[in-house]
Amino acid sequence: MSILTFIGGVHPNDGKDLSKDAGITEYKPQGQIAIAVSQHIGAPASPIVKKGDYVKVGQKIAEASGFVSANVHSSVSGTVKGIEPRLMASGSKVDCIIIENDQKYEETEYEKPKSIDKLSASDIRELIKEAGVVGMGGACFPTHVKLSPKNEDEIEYIIVNGAECEPYLTSDYRRMIEQPEILIEGLKVILALFPKAKGLIGIEDNKPEAIKKLKTAVKNEENIEVKPLYTKYPQGAERSLIFALTGRKVNSSMLPADVGCIVDNVDTVFEIYNAVINGRPLISRIVTVTGDAINNPSNFEVRIGTNQKELIEAAGGFRVNPEKIISGGPMMGIAMSACDVPVIKGSSALLCMEHDEVAAAEERNCINCGRCVDACPSRILPSRLAKLANAGNMEEFESLNGLECCECGCCSYVCPAKKNLTQSIKVMRREVLSSKRKK
Amino acid sequence: MNELLHISSNPHIRDKATTGKIMLDVIIALIPATIVGISVFGLKALLLIIVTMISAVTAEAVFQKITHQKITISDGSAALTGLLLALNLPVSLPVWMAVLGAVFAIIVVKQFFGGLGQNFMNPALAGRCFLLISFGTAMNNFTIDGISSATPLANLKSGMAVDISKMFIGTTAGTIGETSAIALLAGALYLLVKKIIHLNIPLAYIASFSIFVIIYCLFTGRGLDWEFLAAHLCGGGLMLGAWFMATDYVTSPITPRGRIVFGICLGIMTGLFRFCGKSAEGVSYAIIFCNLLVPIIEKLTIPKAFGREDEDNE
C-alpha cells in the first residue's frame, strides 16, 4: 500500500515532543471569564442574559441569530458583570459576556437525551446546534450547518481529521490516545445521520500511538477505518486530507460535500458526542500551551472564556521572555499582541517562542528557484502571485488562480529569499473577495 | 512581561535554506571540476579563477556602492558567476580579458537589469559570449600543457577520431571547467542530493540533445554511432551547461512543465548550433538564446490549480 498523501507541502520541525507526553489536565479559571458572542463563522450570537443575572455552568447565555450561527453557553457559575468588547487573539475586539466566577461550578440540569437509536436525524442535528458545536480545528464553522449538506444522500465519507499537521500542537493527539472510544462513538453519531457513509479517521504517521489506539478501538466497527497518513504539512488541510484519503479534489469554490465528504476535527467529533449522548453544551476545549519559552509545556482542558494569561502561569510561566506568542500553530496561527485574551472555541494552542525567526530573517530578491511552486498544495505560483499582489494587479492575480490559495504558509516557509509570500497573497485574496462581495 | 511581542503574518517559522547557502552549495558542487581544471591546465587556471571571482565580486560591490544600493555580495551569487565564467574560459586567455568578461557579466547583464533575480540571461554565459564575439581568437585558443590543440568536438567536426575515456576524465583541450564529465557529474549528484536542482531541465536537455544527435547520425549516413554521441555528450561544455548553467534559477522557467520544455529547446538549439553552425561548440549560445524564451515558455505552461485541472486557465 502506498502511503496516503498529497502533492506539495513541507516538513517543518514538528516540535511536538515538548508537549506530547503531557496528559490532559483540567484547568480551573481563577479570574473573570469573558465569553465572546462571536466565536464562529457567521452571525454573532445574541446575548440572552443581562448584567446582574446569575448563570450556571452550561447555561445558554447567547443564542444563535440565524442558521449560520452558534449558541454560546456559560462555562462557569457566577454573576454576569456586563457585556463589553474585549480584545481577542485575532487582534479584533468582540463583544464578550463577562462573568464573575464564583468557583462553585454549579451546573444546570442537563436533559439526558434519548438513546441514539431513538433519535431522528433532525433530533441529532438539533442537539448539536443547541450545544453550540463548531469546528474546533480553528475555522469554527457551525457544525450543524456542516452536517446539513444539500446533497445528504450523496455523502459517502465522514472523515475525522486527526492529522494534526500543525507543528507543536498536541491537543488532538492527547484526545485520541486518552479517549479513543469516545471519538469512535462521536463518529458513529455522525454516521447515523448519513446511512450511506463510511467513517475514515486520518492520522499522520508521526503519531503511531494514536494510530494503534484507534485501530484497536475500531476493531469491531465494520464501517470505520483508521488511515495512517504520510507526515507532511498541511496534511490536515481539508483539501489535502480529502485528496489523500479519497483521491477526490476540492477547489476553493467547492465544499467537501460536493465530492461526497464531510470533514470534522477530532475535538469537534468529541463535542458532537458530548452534545448528542450527554446533552452537554460545548463549554471547554483542549489547549496546548507550549513553545521553547514555556517552563512546563502542557495540554489543558480549559473552560471557554478563560484568560489565556492564566494558562501561561499554569504551565509554569515563562522560562525566558518570549519574542512572539502565537494563538494556534506556527504555520497558520495568529501572532498575538498580548496574551490577556479569552480562550474561544477555536483556540487550539498558545505557542510561546523565545526567538522570532521571521524578524531574524533578512529578505532578499526572489531568485525564481521555484521552491514555493513545489511546496504549494494548491499547485499555483506563489512567487508570481505575490509579485502581482504587491503590484495591486487584481485581474491577473485572479486569472493565475490566486484565489485558490489556502494560506497554509508553505511558500513563505520554504522561500530562501525569506519573502513573505503568504502574507502578500493573503492580503490580495481578501481584497479580491471583498470586492466580489460588493458587486 | 515587560517587552513588546512581535507581530507578523503567518507562517512564523522559516526553513533554514537561504540564497547564500544555495549559492555556496553550487560553488561546492563545482569544486571537483575546478580541481580537475587546475590539475589539467596548471596554475594559470587557478590564477584565472581567482581573478575572475574577485573581479565579479568587486564589480558588484562597487556598482552597488556607486548607485547607493545595499551591498549584497554576501549572498555569493557574484562569486558564483565569477567561478562559472572562469570555468568557461580557455586557460591561455589574457587575464585582463577575463576581468573584462567578469565586469561585463556583473554590471551589464546582472546589475543593469536590477541585480540578483532580475537578469534575463545567465550572466556568466553572457560574459563568455561577449568575450567570444570580442576576442574570438583568444577565446578559441585552447592549449594543454602549453601546446595549442583542438578541442575534441573540433576534431570530431573535422572528421578525426577522439578518445572518449580522456574526455570522460577531462584530460583534453577545452575551457578550464568543461573537460571532465566525471567531475561535473559528481558535482551534479551533490546538487541533486541537496535538492538544489531538479532533474527535469538537465534530463530533458540531455535526452532531447541525444535524440537530435541520433537523428543527425541516421540522416547523415553514420548509422547509430554511439561513440559519436558519447563524445558529443562529454564534450563542448554540455555537462557544465546542462547541470550548472541551464539550471540557473533566475534564467530558467519556474513552472514544472516549463522546465521540461526549456530543456527540450536547449537540446534542439545545441544540436542546431553544433551541426549546422560554423563553430563546433553551441552550448553557451543555446542557453543564452533559450533564456530569452523563458517568459513565453512560462506563460504557456502555467500549471493548473489543484481541483481545477479540467478548466482552461484563461
Domain range list for chain A: 16-102+281-353, 116-277, 371-438
Window 226-245 of A, Cβ < 8 Å to B: 239, 243
Q: Say yes or no to pLDDT of B147 above 90.
A: no
Q: State how far residue A124 is from chain B, nearest Cα, in angstroms.
A: 32
pLDDT at A91: 86
pLDDT at A280: 92
Taking the C-alpha atoms of residue A37 and residue A57, their distance in angstroms, rounded to an integer, is 16
Report CA Rg, chain A: 21
| Other Cβ atoms closer than 10 A to A121 | 14
Contacts of A313 in chain B (CB under 8 A): none
Domain range list for chain B: 19-300
pLDDT digits (tens, 9 = 90+) for A97-147: 999 999 999 988 888 777 888 888 899 999 999 999 999 887 889 999 999
Q: Say yes or no to pLDDT of B71 above 60.
A: yes
Quote the pTM value.
0.91
- Percent of chain B at pLDDT > 90 equals 76
Task: State which fold the A116-277 domain adopts.
Answer: Rossmann fold (3.40.50)
pLDDT at A2: 56
Q: H/E/C letters for each residue in chain A?
A: CCCECCCCCECCCCCHHHCCCCCEEEECCCCCEEEECCCCCCECCEECCCCCCEECECCEEEECCCCCECCEECCCCEEEEEEEEEECCCCCEEEEEEEEECCCCCECCCCCCCCHHHCCHHHHHHHHHHCCCECCCCCCCEHHHHCCCCCHHHCCEEEEEECCCCCCCCHHHHHHHHCHHHHHHHHHHHHHHCCCCEEEEEEECCCHHHHHHHHHHCCCCCCEEEEEECCCECCCCHHHHHHHHHCCCCCCCCCHHHHCEEEEEHHHHHHHHHHHHCCCCCCEEEEEEECCCECCCEEEEEECCCEHHHHHHHCCCECCCCCEEEECCCCCCEECCCCCCECCCCCCEEEEECCCHHHHCCCCCCCCCCHHHHHCCCCCCHHHHHHHHHCCCHHHHHHCCHHHCCCCCHHHHHCCCCCCHHHHHHHHHHHHHHHHHHC
pLDDT digits (tens, 9 = 90+) for A30-39: 989 999 998 8
What distance, in Å, lies between the first and last C-alpha atoms of chain A? 49
pLDDT at B26: 97
What is the chain A residue with the closest CA to B116?
A: A365
Task: State which fold the B19-300 domain adopts.
Answer: Ammonium transporter fold (1.10.3430)
In a mutagenesis test of the B interface, which of A258, A341, A366 is the best target, namely the one with the most B β-carbons within 10 Å? A366
pLDDT at B314: 44
Q: Say yes or no to pLDDT of B313 above 60.
A: no
pLDDT digits (tens, 9 = 90+) for A370-392: 999 999 999 999 999 999 999 99
pLDDT digits (tens, 9 = 90+) for B87-128: 999 999 999 999 999 999 999 999 999 999 999 999 999 999
Q: Say yes or no to pLDDT of B294 above 50.
A: yes
Task: Tell me the three state secondary structure of residue B188.
Answer: helix
What is the number of helices (H) and of strands (E) in chain B? 14, 2
Q: Is A35 exposed, middle or buried (0-12, 13-18, 19+ CB in 10 A)?
A: buried
Q: What is the ipTM of this complex?
A: 0.90
C-alpha angle A277-A280-A284 in degrees, rounded to nearest 5: 120
Q: Name the residue among A383, A400, A413 with its Cβ closest to that of B13.
A: A413
The answer to whether B306 contacts A7, with C-beta atoms less than 8 Å apart, is yes
Q: Name the residue among A251, A379, A418 with its Cβ closest to that of B14.
A: A418
Q: State how far residue A366 is from chain B, nearest Cα, in angstroms.
A: 6
pLDDT digits (tens, 9 = 90+) for B152-189: 888 888 888 888 888 899 889 999 999 999 999 999 99
Alpha-carbon separation of residue A277 from A117, A186, A195, A200, A304 (angstroms): 11, 9, 18, 21, 21
Mean pLDDT by 10 residues, chain A (439 residues): 81 93 92 90 90 93 90 94 92 92 89 82 92 87 92 92 94 94 93 92 94 92 93 93 94 92 94 92 94 94 94 93 93 91 92 91 92 95 95 93 94 95 95 86
Q: Which three cell numbers stand for residue A63?
A: 443564542
Q: Does B309 touch chain A (CB under 8 A)?
A: yes
pLDDT at B312: 63
Instruction: Name the residue with cell 547523415.
Output: B220
In a mutagenesis test of the B interface, which of A327, A331, A362, A383 is the best target, namely the one with the most B β-carbons within 10 Å? A362
Q: Which three cell numbers stand for residue A26?
A: 483540567
The answer to whether B306 contacts A318, with C-beta atoms less than 8 Å apart, is no
pLDDT at A305: 93
Under 8 Å CB pairs connecting chains A and B tally to: 173
Q: Does B254 touch chain A (CB under 8 A)?
A: yes
- Percent of chain B at pLDDT > 70 equals 98
